[in-house]
Homo-oligomer: A and B are copies of this chain.
Amino acid sequence: MSEDQVSLRSIKDARERIASVIYRTPLYLSPRLTNRTHTNVFLKLESYQPTRVFKIRGAANKILKLAPAEREHGLVAASSGNHGLSVSYVAKLVGVPATIVVPTNAVEEKVGIIEEYGARVVKHGLYHDERMSKALEIQKATGATLVHPFDDPDVIAGQGTIGLEICDDLPNVDTVVVPIGGGGLISGVSTAIKSLSPSVRIIGVEPEKASSMYQSMKEEKIVRLTDTTSIADGLAAREPGSLTFAISKRNVDEIVLVTEEEIEKAVFDVIKECHIVVEPSAAAAIAALAKIKPRKVNENVAVVISGGNISRKILANVLSKNA
C-alpha cells in the first residue's frame, strides 16, 4: 500500500462526511499540566465522543462511504473493544447490519453493549489473528465489508479529522503527542497536521511492553512482536499495518516509550489534576509528557486523549492505591 492513499483532501472529505455522527471535541488547556511541564498542554478530548473513543471517526468514515449495494451486505469487524463498540454504534445509527467477532473469553459486559447496539456477535478463538481469519471468512461468505481497525485509508482519514480540529483550534501548535496501537490514529493525525504545518513535531507514544512501531521504525521494516501485554490494551498491537507503518515512517518525528507504572500513575494524575477519567491508552500520552524536551519557551503541546473506556476494576485499583 502507498502512503499517498491518505491525503489532506481525503481527511477534509471525511470531516464533512462524519460531521453528523461524531462530536467535535474540545481542545482543553489544562492549567495543572501546563504548570507541571512548563509547556502549554492542550488535551484533545476524544474521551468525550459518544462511544468514549476516537475510533468512532474512522468507523463512521468507512461506513458512510459505502455504496448502497455495499451497505446491504453489511459489515464485519474483529474486536471486543473500542473498535467493535464504535463499528456497532455507527452501524446502528446508519441502519447497516454488522457482525462483530469477539474472543470466546470476551468480557460479558462489553459483549452486552455491542449486542444492545443491535450487532450480531460471533465468539471465536482467543487471539486477534484467529478473530481476523474468522472475520475474513464471514466477509467472503456474505459479501460484508470488513472494517479494519487501523490499516485502511478510509479509517485513517477518519481519525485524521482530529488533526484538522487541532489546527483549527490551535493554529500555532508546536508539538502533537499521539498514542500508537496499530498506528491508525497517528497516521491520520500526522497526515493532516504535516500537510497544514510541516514544522509541527509529531511524537508517538507506546508502552515499553508493546513497542511494535518503535521497533519497526528502528529496523526500518515491520517487526512483529510475540508478546504484547499492557494495561493499555488499546496499544497492544503486535505489529503496525503496512499502510500505517509507511505513513508513520514519513511523518513521525520521535517515539517515546513509557512503562506500565508510568501509565498507571498517569491515569491517577489526570483524575487528580484534571478531574477527567481516561483509559490507560490515553494516559500513556500523558505519561510521555515528562519525557519530552520542550523545543522553545511557551511551547504549545496538544495531546490526543484517545479514549475514556477504563475498566471499573482498573479504575478502582488506581484510586485505592493512591488513596
Per-residue contact bits, chain A 279-317, to B (CB 8 Å; 1 contact, 0 not): 000000000000000000000000000001110110110
Task: Contacts A23-B26, A316-B320, A323-B313 given; indicate if A308 touches B31 (C-beta within 8 A).
Answer: no
Residues of B within 8 A of A31 (CB): 113, 116-117
The smallest beta-carbon distance between A46 and chain B, in angstroms, is 12
The smallest beta-carbon distance between A259 and chain B, in angstroms, is 23
Please pick, from B28, B35, B313, B323, the residue contacting A312 in the complex, using a CB distance under 8 A: B323
**Contact call B319/A35, Cβ cutoff below 8 A:** no
Please pick, from B32, B45, B309, B316, the residue contacting A319 in the complex, using a CB distance under 8 A: B316
Q: Within 8 Å of chain B (Cβ to Cβ): is A52?
A: yes
Residues of B within 8 A of A323 (CB): 312-313, 316
Q: Within 8 Å of chain B (Cβ to Cβ): is A50?
A: yes
**Contact call A312/B271, Cβ cutoff below 8 A:** yes
**Contact call A32/B316, Cβ cutoff below 8 A:** no
Residues of B within 8 A of A320 (CB): 316, 320
The smallest beta-carbon distance between A287 and chain B, in angstroms, is 19
**Contact call B50/A28, Cβ cutoff below 8 A:** yes
A24: nearest chain-B partner, CB-CB:
B24
**Contact call A309/B117, Cβ cutoff below 8 A:** no
**Contact call B117/A275, Cβ cutoff below 8 A:** no
What 9 new A-B contacts, CB under 8 Å, besides A26-B48, A26-B50, A32-B113?
A31-B116, A272-B312, A275-B308, A275-B309, A275-B310, A277-B277, A316-B320, A316-B323, A319-B319
A279: nearest chain-B partner, CB-CB:
B275
The smallest beta-carbon distance between A94 and chain B, in angstroms, is 15
Enumerate 9 A-B pairs (CB-CB under 8 Å) in ascending A order: A23-B26, A32-B116, A35-B116, A48-B48, A52-B275, A275-B309, A275-B310, A312-B322, A313-B323
Residues of B within 8 A of A277 (CB): 277
Complex Cα spacing A117 to B272, Å: 16
Per-residue contact bits, chain A 24-38, to B (CB 8 Å; 1 contact, 0 not): 001010011001000
The smallest beta-carbon distance between A133 and chain B, in angstroms, is 30
Per-residue contact bits, chain A 247-278, to B (CB 8 Å; 1 contact, 0 not): 00000000000000000000000011001110
A117: nearest chain-B partner, CB-CB:
B31
A277: nearest chain-B partner, CB-CB:
B277
Complex Cα spacing A276 to B320, Å: 19
The A1-57 residues at the B interface (CB cut-off 8 A) are 23, 26, 28, 31-32, 35, 45, 48, 50, 52
